Amino acid sequence: MISFFEFFVRFLPDLLSGMGMTLLLTAEGVLAGFILGLAATLARTYGGKFWRNLAIAYIELFRGTPLLVQVFLLYYGLPGLGITLSREWSAFLALGLNSGAYQAEYLRGSILAIGEGQMLAARAIGMSKWKAVFYIILPQALRLAIPAWANEPVSLLKATSVVFLIAVPELMTRAKLIASRTYDPISSYLAVAVLYLVLVYLVDAAMKWLEQRTRLPGLSAVNESS
Partner 1 sequence: MTDSPYILQAKNLTKIYGENVIFKDISLDVKKGETIVIIGPSGTGKSTLLRCLNLLTPVNSGQIFLEGEEITAHGVDHDQVRQKIGMVFQNFLLFNHLTALGNVMIGLTKVKKMPTEKAKQKALHELERVGLADRAHHYPAQLSGGQQQRVAIARALAMDPLVMLFDEPTSALDPELIGEVLGVMEQLAHEHMTMLVVTHEMGFAREVADRIIFMEKGRIVEQGSPEELFEHPQHARTREFLGKISELYGKKEKK
Distance CA 163, CA 87 (A): 9
Query: Min. distance of Cβ 42 from partner 1 in angstroms?
Result: 18
Distance CA 126, CA 120 (A): 10
Give the CA angle between residues 64, 36, 148 to the nearest 5°.
70
Distance CA 157, CA 200 (A): 7
Piece of the chain touching partner 1 by CB under 8 A; list 1-9, 61-69, 103-111, 121-129: 121-129
Q: Of 32 and 133, which CB lies nearer to partner 1 in the complex structure?
A: 133
**Site mask, partner 1, residues 142-181, x = CB under 8 A?**
-x--------------------------------------
Residue 118 makes contact with partner 1 by CB under 8 A: yes
Residue 124 makes contact with partner 1 by CB under 8 A: yes
Cα–Cα nearest to 214, from 142, 148, 152, 153: 142
Q: Of 44 and 143, which CB lies nearer to partner 1 in the complex structure?
A: 143
Q: Restricting to residues 196-225, which ones interact with partner 1 according to CB under 8 A?
A: 216-219, 225
Residue 121 makes contact with partner 1 by CB under 8 A: yes
Q: Of 95 and 136, which CB lies nearer to partner 1 in the complex structure?
A: 136
**HEC sequence for 55-113:** HHHHHHHHHCCCHHHHHHHHHHHHHHHCCCCCHHHHHHHHHHHHHHHHHHHHHHHHHHH
Residues 6+ apart with CB under 8 A from 22: 157, 160, 161, 170, 171, 199
Q: Of 144 and 159, which CB lies nearer to partner 1 in the complex structure?
A: 144
Query: Min. distance of Cβ 108 from partner 1 in angstroms?
Result: 19
Piece of the chain touching partner 1 by CB under 8 A; list 5-13, 45-53, 81-89, 127-135: 127-135
Residue 140 makes contact with partner 1 by CB under 8 A: yes
Distance CA 224, CA 220 (A): 9
Residue 131 makes contact with partner 1 by CB under 8 A: yes
Residue 9 contacts residue 132 (beta carbons within 8 Å): no
DSSP 165: G
Query: Min. distance of Cβ 102 from partner 1 in angstroms?
Result: 24
Binding residues (CB under 8 A) for partner 1: these are 117-118, 120-128, 131, 135-136, 139-140, 143, 216-219, 225
